[in-house]
Structure 1
Amino acid sequence: MSGLSRRRFLGLTGGAGLVLAAGLAGPRLLGRAATTGELLASEVPLPTPFRVPLPIPAVLTPVAREADADRYEIVQRTATAEILPGLRTPIWAYQGTFPGPTLESRSGRTAIVRHRNELPVPTVVHLHGGRTPPESDGYATDLVLPTSGTHQAHQHAGMLDPDAKVVQGVRDYVYPLRQRASTLWYHDHRMDFTGPAVYRGLAGFHLVRDAEEDALPLPRGERELPLMIADRAFAADGSMRYPSLDSTLATVPGVEEPYVAGVLGDVVLVNGAPWPVAEVSATRHRLRLLNASNARRYDLALDPPPPDGPAFTQIGSDQGLLDAPREHDHLPIAPAERYDMVVDFGRYPVGTEVTLVNRAGTGSTAYVMRFRVARRGIEDSDIPDRLSTIEPLNRTQARVTREFSFRGGPTGGRHGWLIGGEPYSPSRIDARPRLGDVEIWRFVADLHHPIHLHLVNFRVLSRGGRPPGPFDGGLKDTVDLRPGEAVEVIARFDGYRGRYMFHCHNAEHEDMGMMANFETT
């Protein structure tokens, strides 16, 4: 995209200048290369951990049920929430809560979600992991302008990316959900402002269920816990502290110079609560783990570990069930990744307190939440040796192999984040896979980059020239790259024709240019 056309787009979205943040001597790696980013400290005393009960997001009820579809309505609006005890925090929220309400859908049954934007800026909703037609996928320029009409974007519709779909106030997102049972999530995806918008609260779960998963004797009901993990920092007035160049998110995008590698907070929230505690029975529990942080990686473990055997039994990945369970003593999880884990609290005596710790953290970020084994329970679940069947894909099926580098680099005299040496442009298509074809994509990184592909799922073929790692199993839509690493993934590009995105899911990298387009043809 030329400088002129990019300025034109920023005029529509409320931006007025370069997308990239101020110059950077070099991105920072923290904690022995555990993560990439810079710590932003809170300006208020941090609360004592393990005092707040774990909240579970409410499940949204459809406003209408049709023969083959459920209709929902969500209002995006400002609200306040008591996140830190005794403080009121302004948030941007779906239905006024952080996280937003959980949607639960059946595979193959269409969900139609009407979003009404009562925020002061344009928004875009992306169903992360959804197999979604392009017009509902949440492309970064497909704006929903505020209902108020006061935002300057409504005056500049003719200056937008010509392929963008812009509406005023309300959009119906149509999700056919022709996909396996899986843990999806929805979040804001506006070009150049994803990071601060999600940071302020625009994120929620969307769970897809199917008959195959229902037939398995896995933990369910109150023994199935969706856990959205996200780090934040708080200002002296209780607001979320984020280093935007423009705090209104209406003009200049980007963050202050020290934070262009990623924003790391010092408060770990689970479902919007700081270091919460959950009372559990001494039985198996299913943990649907989502890393919804902007840049922070976690390496999760249990303290104390169970007395006999690994802490976690993995039953699923980003895109649903594994073919067979895998056992882990710990779990690295990058931004936007999901892992479906079973923990058997029956291996601990009643009264035990089990802390979910972060081996990649220090100080206040070294722990995440606590489970209190409060009572005995009747064990009515099991983990079968076989969970699902996954279509095999191998190198001989691949029609094309493509390579993409994810690196920092100068753009317009400032530091940016680039794919193939180029910052994001809505007008450039970097790959045109044919519908139904299998392709291998090779990603090469300079620093940590969690890479997300819209529309498709994939399998990891290799990591660093070796076989996939122990956490690479199953079908994924986000894969984490470590500094200097190359990863190959293989995918079948089926579902829908149209323009889609792939990008780094470090939200600061994404906002500062590390996105690109592919088009299924």
Structure 2
Amino acid sequence: MSRYLSRRGFLGLSGGVALSAAVGCSTSMTSGELLRSRARLPKPFTVPLPIPAQAVPVVDASGASRFEVVQRAAEAEILPGTRTTVWGYDGTFPGPTFRVRSGHEAVVRVRNELVVPTSTHLHGGVTAPESDGYPTDLVVSKGGYSPAVNAAHQAMQNGGHGGHGGHGGHGAMVVRPHQWTTHDQAKDYVYPLAQRAATLWYHDHRMDFSGPQVWRGLAGFFLVTDAEDEALPLPSGERDVPLMICDRAFEAGGEFRYPALDPALIGTPGVEDDFMEGVLGDVVLVNGAPWPVLEVDAARYRLRVLNASNARRYRLRLDPEPPDGSPAFVQVGSDGGLLERPVGHDRVPISPAERFDLVVDFGRYPVGTEVTVRNTLGETDGTREVMRFRVVRRARDESRIPERLSEPRLPTRGDAVRTRTFDFRQTKRAGARVWTINGRVFDPDEHLADPALGTVELWRLSSDFHHPVHLHLAHFAVVGRGAGAPAATDAGWKDTVDVRPYETVEVLARFDGFKGRYMMHCHNLEHEDMAMMANFRVT
């Protein structure tokens, strides 16, 4: 929730933070099923927070930044004293952080050395269709695209995945040979970056197998910067910290545990029937470390928070709360970049794939204080803890939070040229339960909308469950929840929004950048893998 304070009192603390009323988060339904670890788990707050390495570009004569990353398996010590095989970009989990400049094209060559196909999506990117990471546009490694994979595709052509574990996977969907595109060993993804500074991320988007492949490590940060963002006196340098939060479960020996119907991820897609609502792990990782700790100065820090979980939703709070009574978090940015004005929150709800750019002032705490980030939606002791900060020293702090941050130019209802409705719901097909949009399972040849380039449309998103709905290409403003106003935490340009059970969320989506085929889907990855996706075509 967000806390009311007198304007005068709070401006004196923060340099000008707007405050918004709280809109409560529904917890009437869980977002998945808990998968418990078999490994011995470490005591929380004993592992240092890792900071992902930064990708190093080569700049060519055109001014474009060129990168190359290799998707490969590697061993990592995630739980102390054990080894975990990760599938990572450059063999790391998270993958390297890309820090790139708005308006300067970046070309990322992704080389696949895994045993399975991959497709890399830049989440939040304004990208041409051929570089968007469409789920049937695959990069296959040498020898990796095996007859078993072809057999799985043939099985889909012969009637889908029906009958496995009772839920049917993609049900009656048929994926025909012409719908698959493959690239031998590597692909160049071209990102024009004609967009605002924002905290983006990249992850695997392979058809039917996004859930298990992201679970094994295929994700990382992609930070876009620009002059507007850099000119603000917000915390920077070592006080600008990316935090990828996700949950996992572990086998006794330390390997990732995941309830895939085919652990090799080359045959039958889907998860065991108990987990079709989503897979929740019992270990919370931040930047790939379990319940880590970071030593901080008594100063302001900018925390770029990403929920990279498959299905878990979090509601973050600080313990102890600031002793001066001011809001725990000051939000300065959302999925699509800077807000117009900062907003104070005591609780931050964050669904899979959402990002929150938050400032926390550790200068409000005495040196020696341990400040714990807790998750009020956790169902176990471990999932109620996220990470800890130790305030270890006084230090100079020249940062501040301006009263005005940006001019995001959000659309209004009057800008909408059309209204459409999309219902995200579990339905039955041939006796099997499947996740659908408007009653339909995904078909790469179909599209449910045809917005015109440069227009704004009002989309009404409804659901029967917690569905974090993500639009590729288009950014949107949330303008309504149910019969009420948006939540305080819905502010700014978004690309993902948590549609709660039996709720309708209204968004104004702007279709800028490129024509062609794009997707919307539920970012609960188990739902996505079970066909809760649909195409739209920008004309």
- TM-score band, normalised by shorter chain: over 0.9
Where does residue 304 of structure 1 map in the other structure?
320
Is 1:256 matched up with 2:272? yes
Query: Among residues 67, 84, 91, which one is paired with 1:89 in the alignment?
Result: 84
Deviation at 1:66, TM superposition (A): 3.5
Matched, 1:232 2:227: no
Q: Which moved more, 1:31-40 or 1:319-328?
A: 31-40
* Number of the residue aligned with 1:185: 201
- For residue 21 of structure 1, what is the aligned residue in structure 2? none
Aligned length: 491
Describe how 1:10-409 pairs up with structure 2 within 5 A.
32-33=27-28, 35-149=30-144, 151-152=146-147, 153=149, 160=176, 162=178, 164-308=180-324, 309-361=326-378, 362-409=380-427
Aligned counterparts of 1:311 and 1:450: Cα–Cα separation in 2:
25
Q: Return the offset for 1:150.
A: 5.1
Does the aligned pair in 2 maintain the 1:141–1:161 contact within 8 Å?
Answer: no
Per-residue Cα deviation, 1:134-161 (whole angstroms, up to 9, x for no partner): 0000011001111235523579899855
Gaps of 5+ in 2: 1-25, 158-174
1:81-111: CA deviation from partner (whole Å, max 9, x where unpaired)? 1000000001111001000000010001011
1:397-436 residue CA offsets vs partner (Å, 9 max, x unmatched): 2111000000011234322100000111111110000111
Taking the aligned partners of 1:392 and 1:181, their CA distance within structure 2 comes to: 15
**Is residue 493 from structure 1 mapped to residue 489 from structure 2 by the alignment?**
no
Amino acid at match of 1:199: W
- C-alpha distance in 2 between matches for 1:504 and 1:135: 21
Describe the SS at the equivalent of 2:211: helix
On the 8 A contact 2:128/2:514 being kept in 1, the answer is yes
Partner of 2:443: 425
Question: Counterparts of 1:508-519 in structure 2 under 5 Å?
Answer: 508-519=526-537
Q: 1:423/1:387 Cα in 2 relative to 1: closer, same or farther (>3 Å)?
A: same
Question: With structure 1 as the length reference, what TM-score do the two structures score?
Answer: 0.92
Q: Distance in 2 between matches of 1:185 and 1:165?
A: 23
Contact 2:115 2:144 (C-alpha < 8 Å) held by counterparts = no
The letter for the 2-side match of 1:435 is: L
Query: Could you list the per-position Cα deviations for residues 24-65 of structure 1 after superposition, in whole angstroms to 9, with x for gaps in the alignment?
Result: xxxxxxx95363110000001210010100000000101444
Structure 2: distance between partners of 1:150 and 1:180:
38
In structure 1, what is the Cα distance between the partners aligned to 2:340 and 2:54? 28
- For residue 51 of structure 1, give the secondary structure of its aligned residue in structure 2: coil
Q: Distance in 2 between matches of 1:487 and 1:494?
A: 22
Structure 1: gaps (5+ residues): 1-30
Q: Does 1:466 align with 2:484?
A: yes
Give the counterpart letter for 1:211 in structure 2.
A
Name the CA shift for 1:115/1:260 in 2 (closer, same or farther; >3 Å).
same
Identity level (%): 60
Q: Which moved more, 1:181-190 or 1:412-421?
A: 412-421
Evaluate the alpha carbon distance shift between residue 140 and residue 348 of structure 1 in structure 2; reply closer, same or farther with a 3 A threshold.
same
8 Å CA contact 2:67–2:107 kept in 1: the answer is: yes
- Whether 2:429 is the aligned partner of 1:411: answer yes
Structure 2 counterpart SS, 1:233: strand
Of the structure 1 ranges 195-204 and 462-471, higher mean CA displacement relative to structure 2 is found in 462-471
When normalised by structure 2's length, the TM-score is 0.89
Partner of 2:20: none
- 1:28 matched to which residue of 2? none
Q: Give the match's secondary structure for 1:286.
A: strand
CA deviations over 1:299-330 (Å, ceiling 9, x no partner): 00000000121100000000100000000001
